[in-house]
Amino acid sequence: MFATALATVILFQPATKTKNVLFLFTDGLRWQELFEGAEPDLMKAAKPEDAHYKAYWRETVEARRQALMPFTWSTIAAKGQLYGDRRSGTPCQVLNGLKFSYPGYSETLQGFVDPEIRSNDAVPNPNVTVFEWLNKQKGMEGKVAAFGNWYVVSSIFNKERCGFYVQSGMEPITFTGSAEARMLNRLQAQTDHPFPPDPADAFTYEASMLYLRTKQPRLMGVLFGETDSYAHSGNYAKYLNAAHRFDRWLKGYWGMLQSLPKYKDKTTLVITTDHGRGDGSEWTSHGEKITNAEHTWIMILGPDSPPLGTVRGEAGVSNGQVASSIAALLGFDYCAAQPKAAKPLPRLVR
């Protein structure tokens, strides 16, 4: 009887090929640019000689999105999954109603909306993120890390309590004293960053790549900020450049992962954002009063997820599903431990 029950459990919980997850995130990148590239109305002011016109303006939606995010539309669209294209019947959204950063980060990372989280202040998250929970599971201990461009990310992961390496904002690299780390720390301290008190995203990227290469974690998060910052400043050209850089970094991580035996064909990328932005002239903004700023997107690329490309006709996808999806890919049932958490994405695993 016991043996039969055990056999049944094993039978119905097929092991995933995924042994590692890289969680990648860029703040406030709209689904419109992700799925459709540079928006015609917002490009009207651009002149043909402008660099961003040359780089991102094309006649068709397919060509525009390919120009803006080439790794996404060549590799993820062919081998992975993209949720959030409202025109394909798969809207994706945050459910917190506030449509700004801390509520969106926490909804995504803990898997549910905490109505008490109503500001962007750097207060320690009272909730346990899926990262903190996974860091306590068998085989995952000490194999979790997170990097954030926004200084508040350390609070969202609750750096004091969580038990894994977290570095955000201008915090220097402390996981190693290597020459490369010391050089990055010196450069970060001496650079005139565009959006103080946070560094340029490039420093977050380089620090996280150094960690990935040398520490080889099983779960790492990297959360970028420049898409949001350039949008708030109303600079569409630099917002597009930030989206393009994020796509280039996705390619950089993927290339690194596929070159290391520990990761090759055993690692899934889970990629998302924390909120959308307004339509038309409201593209610079987001928040409770901005219509449609709840609309987000999620992308998956890895060995367990069917290559669906743009997922069609899946209503009801939300950011809260990210937390349990990360756990499920690593073979853990987060919803059993945290019943408030949303279920994994509907077509995540074969």
Per the CB < 8 A criterion, the answer to whether 157 and 125 are in contact is yes
Instruction: Compare residues 101 and 125 and give the one whose CB is closer to Zn ion.
Output: 101
DSSP letter for each residue of 152-176 = THHHHTTHHHH-SEEEETTPPP-S-
CB 203 within 8 A of CB 188: yes
- Minimum CB separation of residue 100 from Zn ion in Å reads 6
Binding mask 15-54 for Zn ion (x = CB under 5 A): ------------xx--------------------------
Q: The tokens 């909120």 sit on which residue?
A: 275
Nearer to Zn ion, 18 or 101 (CB): 101
Q: Using CB under 5 A, which of 132, 274, 294, 314 touches Zn ion?
A: 274
Count the Cβ atoms, other than its own, within 10 Å of residue 160.
Answer: 10
Question: Please, what is the Cα angle at 203 between 199 and 205, to 5 degrees?
Answer: 125
- Binding track, positions 51-90, relative to Zn ion; x by CB under 5 A: ----------------------------------------
**Contact assessment for residue 191 and residue 200, using Cβ atoms and an 8 Å cutoff:** yes
Query: Does residue 108 bind Zn ion (CB under 5 A)?
Result: no
Cβ closest to Zn ion, residue 140 vs residue 271: 271
- Nearest residue (beta carbon) to Zn ion: 101
**Which residues ranging from 211 to 240 are in contact with Zn ion (CB under 5 A)?**
228
Q: Which is nearer to Zn ion, 101 or 106 (CB)?
A: 101
Rounded Cα distance between 136 and 142, Å, is: 8
- Spatial distance between the Cα atoms of 287 and 235, rounded to a whole number of angstroms: 19
Verify binding: residue 294, Zn ion, rule CB under 5 A: no
Cβ distance to Zn ion smaller for residue 27 or 206: 27
Q: What residues contact 106, with CB distance under 8 A and at least 6 apart?
A: 114, 117, 125, 127, 129, 156
Instruction: Pick between residue 173 and residue 222 the one whose CB is nearest to Zn ion.
Output: 222
Whole-number minimum distance, CB 232 to Zn ion, in Å? 9
Q: Name the site residues for Zn ion (rule: CB under 5 A).
A: 27-28, 101, 228, 274
